[in-house]
Amino acid sequence: MQNPFGNGDNNEGPNGLPVPPNYATVAKPDSGDIRIGKVGFSYTAFLFNFLVPIFRGDWYNLLCMIGIDAGAVLGLYSIHFSTVQAQSMAYSVLELVLDLLWGFIYNLMYFRHLFNLGYQPATKRSLDLLEKSRYLKKK
């Protein structure tokens, strides 16, 4: 199959399908389970927040996201604002900050949780990408 990404012989996906250059493949050695995920900023987590871990079946990180969001919103509502408009503006800014936070760190959280579950990089290219992006410590 011709590789549409133009990154050489990067056919490490299921059944030898090509994987984009900023995606890493991790596998669980004992079960043979394979996960492919993007390394870097998560536009899906930035735009769709809680839907991303739900679709990935990543319940641990979903609960972490809900807990941090709930704590931040409850903390904001404990502050007394002089007008409703000021409170609304503060809430909007808080939501934007939280969306940016999840966009920047969700993929890191996802891969680190997979490593805690026993997954390992499936190929040398994935290992190099994960180490270069500091998702995995160099050995």
Domain ranges within the chain, ordered by starting residue: 14-132
The answer, yes or no, to whether residue 123 has pLDDT greater than 70, is yes
Q: What is the pLDDT of residues 10-41, one digit of tens each?
A: 666 666 777 788 999 999 999 889 999 999 99
Evaluate whether 53 touches 65 at the Cβ level (below 8 Å). Answer: yes
Distance between CA atoms of residues 79 and 120, nearest Å? 45
What integer pLDDT is reported at residue 8 of this predicted model?
Answer: 58
pTM: 0.84
